[in-house]
A and B are shown apart, each in its own frame.
Chain A
Amino acid sequence: RKEVEQDPGPFNVPEGATVAFNCTYSNSASQSFFWYRQDCRKEPKLLMSVYSSGNEDGRFTAQLNRASQYISLLIRDSKLSDSATYLCVVNSGAGSYQLTFGKGTKLSVIP
């Protein structure tokens, strides 16, 4: 079974802290990788795509290691508004439009 594994947390961090989430995926044929953010009782929203070269969007940095089948998300200078569940997501195989979702890592940023 093709899966995406994440530490469920919760991660409780103070404002201003740096926090990192990791995820592993089992399908070596996966080609597309994402982090989604989901607020309580809301729909998941695309946070960022993850590229082999690594990519950054403001305080957020995503990294992909294809050899180890490992994806990471780093959040710098955490804000209260970053509190949410972060879902690691990969496509389900070469050319597949289906996505496989991790169960999420819960982050709480405390004042």
Chain B
Amino acid sequence: DVKVTQSSRYLVKRTGEKVFLECVQDMDHENMFWYRQDPGLGLRLIYFSYDVKMKEKGDIPEGYSVSREKKERFSLILESASTNQTSMYLCAIGTGSIAYEQYFGPGTRLTVT
């Protein structure tokens, strides 16, 4: 079974703080993704990575950056948290098979006050 873990289930931060969300996989998969999910807007892709030190912008990268120094770990960084970044953040890994399916971590519910 694919296992994806995220550093926190719930997080409360203040406006202007730098926030790190971490995602770790236990397999050797190249593709990792960060999404946010908001009511009425569905899942939106923030950033993704095909390999160590490689990153690509998704649909909504503004206000975020990412880091992938090791294959198993993909971090999402909010440089200066704002209230409109209050959301559910979901990390996923892609198995890279022909079917392109993705498997998600349990999510981090971030509240910025």
Contacts and interface: CB of A to CB of B under 8 A. Distances in A.
The answer on A and B forming one complex is yes
Given A32-B99, A43-B90, A104-B42, A97 B105 contact: no
A102 B42 contact: yes
Nearest to A50: B99
A32 B100 contact: yes
A81 interface: no
Interface string B31-48: 101000000111101001
B74 interface: no
Nearest to A43: B104
Interface in A31-46: 31-32, 34, 41-46
Nearest to A99: B102
On chain B, which size bracket covers the interface? 20 to 34
A53 interface: no
Interface in A15-32: 31-32
A91 B42 contact: no
A101 interface: yes
A103 interface: yes
A31 B100 CA distance: 9
Interface string A70-111: 000000000000000001000100001111011110000000
A35 to B, nearest CB: 11
Give the most central of B100, B107, B109: most A CB within 10 Å. Answer: B100
B94 A97 contact: yes
Given A98-B48, A101-B43, A49 B99 contact: yes
25 contacts: A32-B98, A32-B101, A41-B109, A43-B90, A43-B104, A43-B105, A43-B106, A43-B107, A44-B90, A45-B104, A46-B101, A46-B102, A46-B103, A49-B101, A87-B42, A87-B43, A97-B48, A97-B50, A98-B48, A99-B100, A101-B42, A102-B42, A103-B40, A103-B41, A103-B42
Interface of A: 31-32, 34, 41-46, 49, 87, 91, 96-99, 101-104
